[in-house]
Amino acid sequence: MNVTKEEPEPDKEQLIVKQEAGTFKVTPLDLKDDTNEPEEKMNQLVNADSPEGEKQTHTGEKPFSCPTCAKDFSRKGNLLIHIRTHTGEKPYACGMCDKSFSTGSYLACHVRMHTGEKPFSCPTCAKGFSTKSQLIIHIRTHTGEKPYACEMCDKSFSVGSHLASHMRTHTGEKPFSCPTCAKGFSRKGHLVIHIRTHMGLKPYNSLHLSALQSLSHLFPSVSYGHRVPSSLIPPRIGLPN
């Protein structure tokens, strides 16, 4: 069973945001465009509300194929965005930090971390969220909806990533590796707890938690299937002076 990691749903905003004189200026970044197709046209192609996009959504037609992995898409704009997962291109840069993103909508979501804007409100409790996908997940706490069902047992989950984590209890997969000893874990939270043992830390100490967070740069790329080569593993992670 293939479990797709749930990602924030992009909102229909696609541009660079820079803060100027207390306001946020939205401008396009100079994009590399070998096809000479304007970014505005690409964004229109992404729009599901367009007649062409709506027609392809209903028919299931996917005439645009990725030349790298052959994955098909119903809209050319979605294909262009997908191709960036292969090229690593991130043309949308945040004007308030050094992060960049592959789509303008992901940049817009990120900028709200700086501004604190939470435009999506729960109709039940009025709690605000910075992205629509966060709101949808929250609403399930009220409705009890758990649309992600495990095919190997009778458990269901409200979030796709929780199902992915649960599936590892069946498969035995341990994609998160300790940068110190290379021990594998099925959950990133378990890895963080384990790393504390190398630092000599005890649970539930706020000072030690801060120390651990300050060392997060030592293991920034802990991810699926990633193991640190033994030659690069430090003998021990110590507390900062």
Last residue of one domain, picked from the residues 115, 148, 167: 115
Last residue of one domain, picked from the residues 92, 115, 138: 115
pLDDT tens sequence across 28-38: 343 333 333 33
Q: Is residue 214 part of a domain?
A: yes
Are residues 109 and 20 located together in one domain of the fold?
yes
pLDDT tens sequence across 103-131: 998 999 999 999 999 999 999 999 999 99
pLDDT of 170: 94
Q: Name the one residue in this structure whose structure tokens are 């946020």.
A: 24
Q: Is residue 39 part of a domain?
A: yes
pLDDT tens sequence across 71-83: 999 999 999 999 9
CATH of the domain at 75: 3.30.160.60
Provide the domain count of the chain: 2
Torsional sign, CA 107, 25, 42, 75: positive
Under 8 Å between Cβ of 160 and 6: yes
Structure tokens at 27: 């401008």
Q: Is residue 3 part of a domain?
A: no
User: For the residues 232-240, what does the mean pLDDT come to?
Assistant: 39
pLDDT band for position 188 (50/70/90)?
confident
Q: Is residue 161 part of a domain?
A: no
- Give 4 or 69, the one with higher predicted confidence: 69
Q: Is residue 127 part of a domain?
A: no
Q: Is residue 165 part of a domain?
A: no
Q: Is residue 30 part of a domain?
A: yes
Last residue of one domain, picked from the residues 115, 147, 167: 115
Are residues 34 and 107 located together in one domain of the fold?
yes
Ranges of beta strands (E only) in the chain are 16-20, 23-27, 64-65, 72-73, 92-93, 100-101, 120-121, 128-129, 148-149, 156-157, 176-177, 184-185
User: For the residues 96-109, what does the mean pLDDT come to?
Assistant: 92
- Give 197 or 149, the one with higher predicted confidence: 149
Question: For 190, what's the count of Cα atoms within 13 Å in the CB-facing half-sphere?
Answer: 10
Expressed as residue numbers, the domain containing 221 is: 176-232
Global confidence as pTM = 0.52
Q: What is the Cα–Cα distance from 134 to 122, expressed in whole angstroms?
A: 10
Q: Is residue 147 part of a domain?
A: no
